[in-house]
Amino acid sequence: MNSPIPNAALTDHASSRAQIVLDSLLSRESHWPLAEPGPNDAELAQIFDAALRAPDHARLRPWRFVLVRGDARGALGDVLVDLACARAPGEPRSAHAHRRQKAFATPVVIALGAAVDSTSHVPEIEQLMSMGAATMNLLNAIHALGYGGFWATGDDTYEPAMHAALGFGPSERLLGFLFVGTPQRAQRPASRPEREAFVREWKAPTRGQ
């Protein structure tokens, strides 16, 4: 049973655990390229469970993830070539064959969707933000397990044909893709913005008499 009054040892333990979590959050960055191996089934289960801890107004659970890996990436690559051909009618299919490689760029691709409940009092923006929060949890879990992720949209995300190919329904939105694998080289840490430029404390204004 948990003691209601933490002793010194527990406090030390909690504080070193907090530091590990914070170090992980503060060191996450996007990676490219990403190669084999990708997370295995047990790791993917943890990654998706982390996503399902996202905040979610009215418990609508708008999160939808479509896992694409292995040979299925070939079919995704075919869709990417189809879309490129449709955008440039008249050009030979061979001109767009290279688009297929995008599906094979990483061992795991996760299509990110949101099921929007338009009958809910919760505005659509909140439902989409919940999916954004879930995706951030995916990225953090991927990083914590020693893998790398890259969140991308690009023109393909907004194509109805891609939406249909991935099996999303009329009330669902495709919001992008997460590419997942093993980082290939130690990359120079990205320069990060200064906190002061983004955070300000609001002070209560002095009210006139």
Q: Which is nearer to ligand FMN, 65 or 150 (CB)?
A: 150
The minimum distance between CB 73 and ligand FMN, in angstroms, equals 18
Q: Which is nearer to ligand FMN, 43 or 156 (CB)?
A: 156
Q: Which is nearer to ligand FMN, 70 or 146 (CB)?
A: 146
Cα 202 to Cα 28: distance, rounded to the nearest angstrom: 29
Q: Which is nearer to ligand FMN, 48 or 151 (CB)?
A: 151
Each as own residue / partner, the long-range contacts of residues 21-29 (CB below 8 Å, 24 or more positions apart, any chain) are 24/140, 24/143, 24/144, 25/140, 27/143, 28/139, 28/140, 28/143, 29/143, 29/187, 29/189, 29/190
Cα 65 to Cα 69: distance, rounded to the nearest angstrom: 13
Cα 150 to Cα 30: distance, rounded to the nearest angstrom: 5
The minimum distance between CB 129 and ligand FMN, in angstroms, equals 11
The minimum distance between CB 95 and ligand FMN, in angstroms, equals 22
Q: Which is nearer to ligand FMN, 10 or 158 (CB)?
A: 158
- 50 three-class SS: helix
The minimum distance between CB 69 and ligand FMN, in angstroms, equals 20
Show the tokens assigned to 122.
């919760």
In degrees rounded to 5, what are phi and psi of residue 200? -140, 150
The minimum distance between CB 193 and ligand FMN, in angstroms, equals 10
Which parts of this chain interact with ligand FMN (CB under 6 A)?
Answer: 29-30, 150-154, 176, 190
